[in-house]
Every structure is written in structure tokens, then in C-alpha cells.
Amino acid sequence: MKQYTIPVLDVSAGAEAKAYVDTLTKPIGSLGKLEEIVVTLAEIQGRKLPSINQLGVLVFAADHGIVEEGISAYPQLVTRQMVQNMAVGGAAINVFSRQQQAEFSLVDVGVIGEAFPEPVKDRKIRQGSENFLHIEAMTQEEVEKALEIGYEEAIALFEKGADFLVVGEVGIGNTTTSSAVVAAITGLDPAELVGYGTGISSGQHLHKIKVVREALALHQPNPSDGFDVLRKVGGLELAAMVGAMLAAASKRIPIILDGFISTAAACVAETISKGAAGYMLLGHQSMEPGHQKAFQYLGKEPILSLSMRLGEGTGAAVACSIIQSAVLMVNEMATFESAGVSGKSE
């Protein structure tokens, strides 16, 4: 089993960044969360003046056996159709990635059916996960393979110059999977986590809660073992997302978290390698109820709250403009001394 080494955050660089931000031509603290973002990035990158130049957007796609239980408003075929849409640039994440001039990569790790043509990368592990209401979602070997693929695909983006990362997903049924994963790790009742996903009915919602509860009772995943959680109630794309996040954290590259699925993967990443969450900023607050529970578990606060719940990495990509503003602020604003502006009166 691969071991992921996460470096310790550079708190001294963060302190230096905070001290420097306080010398800029503004009242102390007046740029609010932008100042906090600068400090976080300084700790991640290990330098007083953080910089971000090239966004990498990495989207993993896979199907989920749990869809057999009628927990989604959409048929499983939609996963494949959305990948095809994304491949030609028609999805929301494509639009926001182009806005950010991001390096974009789309990877199939488990979509049912034959391989997609380029530009989709064919890293298919199997034809969707198993129905975890009855048997474990994946084998240990498949979990490890998914993490390794996620790690490799993130490194490939970094080698192209990406120095901050959004990890997105496509997979009908993955809010159910994420609910099971977060419930397993946090110990929360699935009723606190399970939402309406793609727009299910109230009856389907109650059924979805029941499915997650029964699956957890059957498998009893170990909350302190991320591999065990993934194997029993996870998904192929979710596991690949974990691998990508661990790659970024190991290379001191900031990760911008998206919504519920992304943050569920982040919970697993932190369980597998303590300290990984320190390399993550939370792009936005999803409308999915489980998202708030998941990011509170990680100790994160959202940058944006725009009533979004699409997934794909969209909320994280939109938040990147705010993060870029924070970086420009610390690198380009004048200090009181350099501008010859009088400081605060004693």
C-alpha cells in the first residue's frame, strides 16, 4: 500500500505573510477573508508572498452500482452522456475552466461502456462500482489503483505547469456514495447528510437515507481507515479524487475544494494522510446538507455561497477568481512606507 508523505505547513511563512499584509495601504483586516486566504497560501507554499499562475482542473468520471436502488432522479446513462458533453466543452466546468484559462483534464476511471475517444483519458478500472447495499463497492486492489491513477493524473497536470488544483467529478449516484462515506468517517446519522441530489422526490429521499443506513450497518466501515471506507461504500471517481488531492498536498500545491463529493473525498484524504486538509481551501458552500457537515469536520469555511449544487468542480472554479484577487493584493499593493502614506495614528 502506497504511503503518502504530507509536509508540515510552514506557519512561520504564514506569520510573515500576515505581518506583511498588515503593512499594506489599508486598515488592518479590512480585506477580510482575502487576507486569510493569503496566510493560508503562504503556509502551503512556504513563502511570504504566495503566487498562483496556472489553474489545473482535473475531473474523474465513474458509475455507481448503488444506482440500482433507485436513489437518483436520472438514469445511469447520464454519466456517459455528461462525459461526452464535457469532452466537447459543453459542460459548466468547461465554461469556468476556459474563463480561468485552466489546464483541463477529463479521466474515465469507471464509466459503464466502451472507452471514450480523446480527449477523455481512458484509465478505466472496471465497469462501475458494485452495489454497496449488498456487497463491498470495490476490492482493495481497485481502491489502491484508483488512488494511484488520481495521483498520477494530478502529477501530470503539475508537470504542465499547474500550481493550484480543482478536482471535480461526474457520476450519477455519487451523492449517495458521498453520504455513506461522510457518515462512516464522522459517525453522523445519514439523515443529517443525505440530500436531494439531482432532484429526487421526498419519497426517494427517505429511501436514500434508508439505503445508506442499511449499507453502513452491513459493512461497518472503520472510520479511521480511509481505504476501508472507500472499499466498502466508496466510488471509483471518489477514490481517484482522493489520490489527486494527496498528490497536491505532497507537492505543497493548494487544492480548491468544490461541493459535497469533493469534500467527501477530502475527508478520506485526511483520514489516509493526516495533514492533507491543511493544503485545502473550500471554494463554496453547496446546497447539499451533507456538505456543511463534511467541511465542518475538516475545519473549513467556504469562500463563496451561491446556492450551487452541480458538482463537477464548478463552485471551486468560480472561487478561483477570488483566490487570484487575494494573491494580486499581497503582491501588488503598496505598503504605507513605499507609498508615503501615513499610518494609523497612535
- Residue 169's nearest CA partner among 241, 99, 97, 114 is 241
Query: With bands split at pLDDT 50, 70 and 90, how would you rate the model's confidence at 344?
Result: confident
- Residue 190's nearest CA partner among 95, 71, 329, 344 is 71
pLDDT tens across 292-335, in order?
Answer: 999 999 999 999 999 999 999 999 999 999 999 999 999 999 99
**CA of residue 301 relative to chain centroid, distance:** 14
- Provide mean pLDDT across the span 248-268: 98
Asked if the model's pLDDT at residue 345 lies above 90, the reply is no
8 Å CB contact between 277 and 269: yes
**What confidence score (pLDDT) does residue 72 get?**
93
User: By three-state DSSP, how is residue 255 classified?
Assistant: strand
- Residue 145's nearest CA partner among 62, 46, 80 is 62
For residue 16, what is its C-alpha cell? 510573515
Kindly report the backbone phi and psi dihedral angles of residue 160, in degrees, each rounded to the nearest multiple of 5, phi listed first.
-90, 0
For the chain, percent of residues with pLDDT exceeding 90: 97
Catalytic residue, candidates 312, 332, 337, 346: 312
pLDDT tens across 188-237, in order?
Answer: 999 999 999 888 999 999 999 999 999 999 999 999 999 999 999 999 99
**What confidence score (pLDDT) does residue 316 get?**
98
Asked if the model's pLDDT at residue 171 lies above 70, the reply is yes
**What confidence score (pLDDT) does residue 343 get?**
76
Residue with cell 440500482: 68
Strand-pairing partners, residue 284, are 304
**What confidence score (pLDDT) does residue 346 get?**
66
**What confidence score (pLDDT) does residue 147 get?**
98
pTM for this structure?
0.97
Cβ neighbourhood burial of 318 (10 Å; 0-12, 13-18, 19+): buried
- Provide mean pLDDT across the span 85-101: 98
**What confidence score (pLDDT) does residue 342 get?**
86
- Provide mean pLDDT across the span 163-167: 98
pLDDT tens across 94-134, in order?
Answer: 999 999 999 999 999 999 999 999 999 999 999 999 999 99
Indicate if 312 belongs to the active site.
Answer: yes
pLDDT tens across 57-79, in order?
Answer: 999 999 999 999 999 999 999 99
**What confidence score (pLDDT) does residue 214 get?**
98
- Residue 218 is which amino acid? L
**What confidence score (pLDDT) does residue 334 get?**
98
For the chain, percent of residues with pLDDT exceeding 70: 100
Kindly report the backbone phi and psi dihedral angles of residue 102, in degrees, each rounded to the nearest multiple of 5, phi listed first.
-80, 155
**What confidence score (pLDDT) does residue 197 get?**
87
